[in-house]
């Protein structure tokens, strides 16, 4: 009985100490980081030991945080370009198309800001975005090589697909015709 009480008191004290330490850290973050870094440099063996203990206590590490970070990073244009290139590589392998990844990386280092087809600015937000940038093969069978790629928004790329200009004109003419004939709903 007595032991139990002491134990819970001990836990309560520990908890309070953790809260105080956290508050102190938040209020003095820079100074704490500076001191910790200096201390680690002076005592590398102890620093490694602490690192090992932390890994043991939390073997999953901050995988969840890393995952969240990777997900959020997709909103950054250069990360998105890396992703587009990776997917293009997978598609090229699956379809047996040529790809020049080094050229793509260099060409997309500073990606265009708007779709050259509809003129709308590229959108990098998460989730399905019709104006997200996508890689277009100008002549689909020629693959992802210099002179045969363009950065189009998803919407334009989907509408274009592998159509020829004549085919698209045909579809546009058809659409105009049937829309004229179909009465508009009030
Ligand atoms: Zn577009």
Cα distances (angstroms) measured from residue 151 to each of 35, 47, 59, 85: 48, 48, 42, 11
93 CA to middle of ligand 1, Å?
A: 26
Which residues contact residue 43 at a Cβ distance below 8 angstroms, ignoring those fewer than 6 apart? none
Structural domain spans, the chain? 1-45, 77-175
Say whether 77 sits in a helix, a strand or coil: helix
- Exposure b/e, 145-163, CB count within 10 A at least 16 = b: eeebbbbbbbbbbeebeee
**pLDDT tens for each residue of 27-70:** 999 999 999 999 999 999 999 998 888 888 877 777 777 887 77
CA 114 to chain centre: 19
77-175 placed in CATH 3.30.40.220: yes
Question: Hunting for tokens 């690192």 — which residue is that?
Answer: 51
Q: Which residues surround ligand 1, an ion (CB under 5 A)?
A: 115, 117-118, 153, 156
129 CA to middle of ligand 1, Å?
A: 11
DSSP single-letter state for residue 111: -
26 CA to middle of ligand 1, Å?
A: 46
116 CA to middle of ligand 1, Å?
A: 7
Say whether 173 sits in a helix, a strand or coil: helix
* Distance between start and end Cα atoms, the chain: 79
99 CA to middle of ligand 1, Å?
A: 23
Beta strands in the chain (DSSP E): 133-137, 149-153
DSSP letters of 81-106?
HHHHHHHHHHHHHHHT--B-HHHHHH
Q: Residue 4's pLDDT is what?
A: 54
123 CA to middle of ligand 1, Å?
A: 11
105 CA to middle of ligand 1, Å?
A: 21
Residue ranges in the chain whose pLDDT is less than 70: 1-7, 186
41 CA to middle of ligand 1, Å?
A: 53
179 CA to middle of ligand 1, Å?
A: 23
Is residue 85 within 8 A of residue 104, CB to CB? The reply is yes
Q: Residue 61's pLDDT is what?
A: 72
């Amino acid at each position: 009985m007595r032991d139990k009480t002491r134990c819970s008191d001990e836990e309560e004290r520990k908890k309070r100490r953790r809260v105080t330490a956290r508050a102190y850290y938040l209020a003095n973050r820079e100074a704490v980081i500076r001191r910790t870094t200096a201390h680690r440099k002076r005592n590398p063996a102890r620093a490694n030991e602490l690192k090992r203990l932390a890994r043991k206590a939390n073997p999953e590490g901050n995988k969840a945080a890393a995952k969240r970070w990777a997900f959020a990073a997709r909103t950054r244009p250069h990360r998105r370009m890396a992703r587009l290139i990776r997917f293009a590589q997978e598609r090229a392998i699956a379809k047996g198309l040529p790809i020049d990844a080094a050229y793509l990386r260099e060409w997309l280092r500073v990606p265009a800001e708007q779709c050259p087809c509809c003129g709308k600015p590229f959108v990098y937000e998460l989730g399905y975005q019709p104006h997200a940038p996508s890689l277009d093969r100008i002549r689909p069978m020629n693959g992802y090589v210099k002179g045969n790629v363009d950065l189009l928004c998803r919407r334009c790329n989907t509408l274009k697909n592998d159509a020829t200009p004549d085919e698209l004109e045909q579809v546009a003419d058809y659409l105009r015709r049937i829309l004229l004939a179909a009465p508009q709903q009030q």
